[in-house]
Amino acid sequence: MEDYAEVRCLFCLTMHEEAIVRAVEDKGLGRAIYPRKHKRLRHGMQWEDAYTPLLPGYVFVYSPALDSAAQSTLAGIQSVIRLLRYENRDGSAILSGADRQFADWVWLHGGLIGVLKAIKLGDHVEIVDGLFKAFHGRVVQMDRRKQLARIELDILGGAKYLWLSYDCLKEPERETE
Cβ(81)–Cβ(13) under 8 Å?
A: yes
Residues 6+ apart with CB under 8 A from 53: 14, 15, 17, 34, 35, 36, 37
Residue 167 has pLDDT above 70, yes or no: no
Confidence of residue 139 (pLDDT cuts 50, 70, 90): confident
| Residues above pLDDT 70, as percent of the chain | 73
Which amino acid is present at 18? E
Using one digit for the tens of pLDDT, what is the confidence trace for 9-35? 999 999 999 999 999 999 999 999 998
pLDDT for res 97: 83
Share of the chain above pLDDT 90, in %: 24
Amino acid letter for position 151:
I
DSSP 141-174: EEETTTTEEEEEEEETTEEEEEEEEEEEEPPPPP
Q: 61-80: string of b/e by CB count within 10 Å (b at 16+)?
A: bbbeebeeebbebbeebebb
pTM over 0.85: no
What secondary structure does DSSP assign to 94-126, as a single string? Answer: B--HHHHHHHHHHHHTTTEE-PEEEEEETTEEE
**Which burial class, exposed, middle or buried, applies to 87 when counting CB atoms under 10 A from its CB (0-12, 13-18, 19+)?**
exposed
The pLDDT assigned to 137 comes to: 67
pLDDT for position 140: 75
- What integer is the mean pLDDT of 133-148? 70
Question: What tens digit of pLDDT does each residue of 56-112 get?
Answer: 899 999 998 888 888 889 899 999 999 988 776 666 788 888 788 888 988 988 888
At 109, give phi and psi (nearest 5°): -100, 15
Q: Which of 23-27, 46-50, 104-108, 117-121 has the lowest mean pLDDT?
A: 117-121
Q: How confident is the model at residue 39 (pLDDT cuts 50, 70, 90)?
A: confident
Distance CA 3, CA 105 (A): 16
Residue 73 is given by DSSP the state: H
